[in-house]
Amino acid sequence: MSSFQIPRRRLLALGAASLGSALLGGCDRLSEAPDFQAFLASAESLTYRSQRLLGGGHSMAREFTAADLSPVFKVNGTRVPEGEDYAALVESNFADWRLRVDGLVVKPLELSLADLHALPQRTQITRHDCVEGWSAIGKWTGVPLAAVLERAALLPAARFVVFHCADMYEHALDGNGQYYESIDLIDAFHPQSILALSLNDAPLTVGHGAPLRLRVERQLGYKQAKYVMRIQLTDRLGDIGRGKGGFWPDRGYEWYAGI
């Protein structure tokens, strides 16, 4: 009898897609129930600890060849951030854009695109797995996140890296609609975690997050923050956004979306 096996990465992506569909499909009452929230928190903690135990900080996401590139890499999420400030940056071809790096660092930074291009670059061809169930393979080039963090010099108390983005994903009544994401230092210093400047040998388009987006290849697509404007080092996540570590985690998704 033949057997059919789904690769672990794909299985986890499909499971996350099912959860995402349930949450987006109107299961608000369930997702807000204290017992269900506790269940999700315990499951996420188990996933996080298991991933760290089995893979440690050094396991690599699979990399592909140019022959594997997807003919189309879908634009998802925000397509064009709202607001005059971002529109002005696009108009100037991001000449005045600066990446701020601050928080628990010895040396706060403000980096231009020229500054980032002058740092060591890494290219990787990897698969993007979306919580909605689709995937695409793309070629990403950018600065290893570790190189930027080492330049800023982290203070001993730093535990998390928070990425603040230009897009207001929703106009929430509580004012917490700005997109952001966060990762721990293990993923931050992973060699495949990069601040991407290009996709498939071309500068990022606006739809794909120009001028800078995060690629943290061992996690699902919603962790790959686009339009990164600021990187904050912190010892806690509870006082940012709604306190869960990211726009979608604030709305019921797992903070650690490892695959």
Q: Residue 111 is part of which domain span?
A: 8-251
Task: Report the CATH number that the domain containing residue 45 is assigned in CATH.
Answer: 3.90.420.10
What's the domain count of the chain? 1
Q: Could you report the per-residue pLDDT of 99-157, keeping only the tens digit for each?
A: 999 999 999 999 999 999 999 999 999 999 999 999 999 999 999 999 999 999 999 99
Distance, in Å, from the CA atom of 157 to the CA atom of 142, rounded to the nearest integer, reads 27
Q: Return mean pLDDT, the chain.
A: 85
Residue 17 lies in a domain: yes
Residue 1 lies in a domain: no
Burial pattern 75-114, b for ≥16 Cβ within 10 A else e, equals ebbbeebeeeebeebeeeebeebebebebbbeeebebebe
Q: Could you report the per-residue pLDDT of 147-183, keeping only the tens digit for each?
A: 999 999 999 999 999 999 999 888 766 667 899 999 9
Residue 259 lies in a domain: no
- Whole-model pTM: value is 0.81
Residue 153 lies in a domain: yes
Residue 139 lies in a domain: yes
Residue 118 lies in a domain: yes
Q: How many CB atoms lie within 10 A of CB 222?
A: 22
Residue 61 lies in a domain: yes
